[in-house]
């Protein structure tokens, strides 16, 4: 796979729809061509201390941030039909599905690949 979009979500709380940031790296023909990072007002809009301890994002960081639909419109146009890649895609894909559903937006149809599972397959002797 020579062209793809690497994606990573952070969540504010236990709800997968509570994405509070998204980072993307756009790769074309094995070259990084662009990157994107945005804070997002989570849905539901509250933070658990354990989440903030993990990623450092808190309520005040996202108080003036856009909600996900406004960001998704721009991103969806840029992602197009490229495959999405995440480390532990089970988490990131479930976040994307949950936040799209929470706003009544159409689900994505891009293929999703997992670097965590691929790493476990290729290097079973490593503790990952």
- The pLDDT tens digits for 61-119 are 999 999 999 999 999 999 999 999 999 999 999 999 999 999 999 999 999 999 999 99
pLDDT recorded at residue 126: 81
| Interval 27-62: pLDDT, tens | 999 999 999 999 999 999 999 999 999 999 999 999
Global pTM reads 0.93
Are 85 and 33 a contacting pair, CB within 8 Å? no
> 86 or 124: whose pLDDT is higher?
86
Question: Which structure tokens are listed for 110?
Answer: 């891009």
The domains located in the chain, with CATH, are 4-122 (3.30.420.10)
CA angle, residues 35, 113, 18, in degrees to nearest 5 = 65
The shares of helix, strand and coil residues in the chain, as percent rounded to the nearest 5, are 35, 25, 40
Q: Do the beta carbons of residue 83 and residue 112 sit within 8 Å?
A: yes
pLDDT top residue among 50 and 128: 50
Q: What is the CA radius of gyration of the chain?
A: 15
């Amino acid at each position: 796979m020579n062209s793809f979009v690497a994606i990573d979500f952070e969540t504010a709380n236990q709800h997968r729809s509570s994405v509070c940031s998204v980072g993307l790296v756009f790769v074309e023909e094995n070259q990084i061509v662009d990157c994107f990072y945005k804070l997002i007002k989570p849905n539901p809009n509250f933070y658990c201390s354990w989440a903030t301890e993990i990623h450092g994002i808190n309520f005040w960081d996202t108080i003036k941030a856009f909600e996900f639909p406004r960001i998704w419109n721009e991103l969806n146009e840029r992602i197009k039909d490229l495959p999405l890649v995440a480390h532990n895609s089970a988490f990131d894909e479930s976040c994307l599905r949950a936040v799209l559903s929470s706003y009544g937006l159409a689900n994505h149809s891009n293929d999703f690949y997992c670097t965590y599972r691929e790493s476990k397959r290729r290097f079973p002797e490593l503790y990952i």
